[in-house]
């Protein structure tokens, strides 16, 4: 049957028809089995129907976009500090090689002269590759183990949010943690041509358009969801069932 207020055969704008056999996101359906032949439909938030606030995977509300953004900025700052300590010498050497070239490019552009004959020093190109690999490696070492084991980096722990599997409350493990890191982390290696920044920007915006679980592309690739660290309803104690 169609939702109340909509003619038969029509669905409201934004409704998502799930393929047969597709498990619905946790927290959307009441316990029990669907009638034979029923079609699962996710409806957008509207008056009289449960909205985003009703979606609680494993009893935990979906993490807000603001909390996720702030947690990511904290993690970027931590990784930047690690890189300053590890890659600082390589960056200094790269700037030493490239500064004369960049200064000459600037001079010629102001004078309206051609810069086509200017090339980067060979060592600078090698240093650039080393720097990008180190940045990606440090980011990997910082994020993947913590997400695999606890679902929380430093930023997520401070903002009280965590990454969880969609289907269970078990730790997501290294396989999924790597798949979740790949879309953002491997894009670092494409920074030199600018494509890496574009891919990371699009991935960072993707939770805004994903309804109802607000999953980024990297969450979809790993089958994960970002939720508040504590469930909204505490689990019952063992003695609760004995009380009358």
Model confidence pLDDT, tens digit, residues 48-101 = 444 444 578 888 999 999 999 999 999 999 999 999 999 999 999 999 999 988
The reported pTM is 0.72
Q: Give 225: exposed, middle or buried? Use CB within 10 Å, 0-12, 13-18, 19+.
A: buried
Q: What ranges do the domains of the chain cover?
A: 65-228
Residues 6+ apart with CB under 8 A from 9: 2
Query: Mapping DSSP to helix (H, G, I), strand (E, B) and coil, where does residue 88 land?
Result: helix
Which pair of tokens denotes residue 164?
A: 């969880």
On the question of pLDDT at 219 being above 90, the answer is: yes
pLDDT single digits (tens) 25-44:
554 554 445 555 566 666 55
Residue ranges in 87-194 assigned as alpha helix (H): 88-111, 122-149, 154-159, 173-185
Sign (positive or negative) of CA dihedral 215, 216, 218, 221 = positive
């Amino acid at each position: 049957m169609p939702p109340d207020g909509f003619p038969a055969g029509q669905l409201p704008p934004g409704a998502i028809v799930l393929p047969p056999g597709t498990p619905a996101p946790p927290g959307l359906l009441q316990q029990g089995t669907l009638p034979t032949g029923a079609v699962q439909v996710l409806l957008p938030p509207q008056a009289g129907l449960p909205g985003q606030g009703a979606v609680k995977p494993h009893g935990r509300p979906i993490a807000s976009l603001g909390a996720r953004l702030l947690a990511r900025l904290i993690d970027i700052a931590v990784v930047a500090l690690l890189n300053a300590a590890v890659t600082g010498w390589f960056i200094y050497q790269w700037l030493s090689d490239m500064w004369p070239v960049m200064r000459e490019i600037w001079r010629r552009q102001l004078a309206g002269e051609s810069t086509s004959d200017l090339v980067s020093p060979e060592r600078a190109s090698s240093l650039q590759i080393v720097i990008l690999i180190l940045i990606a490696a440090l980011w990997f070492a910082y994020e993947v183990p913590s997400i695999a084991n606890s679902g929380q980096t430093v930023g997520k722990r401070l903002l009280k949010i965590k990454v969880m599997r969609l289907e269970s409350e078990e730790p997501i493990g290294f396989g999924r943690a790597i798949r979740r890191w790949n879309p953002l982390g491997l894009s670092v290696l494409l920074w030199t041509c600018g494509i890496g920044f574009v891919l990371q920007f699009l991935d960072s915006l993707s939770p805004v358009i994903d309804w109802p679980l607000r999953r980024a592309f990297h969450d979809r690739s790993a089958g994960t969801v970002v939720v508040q660290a504590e469930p909204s309803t505490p689990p019952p104690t063992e003695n609760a069932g004995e009380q009358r």
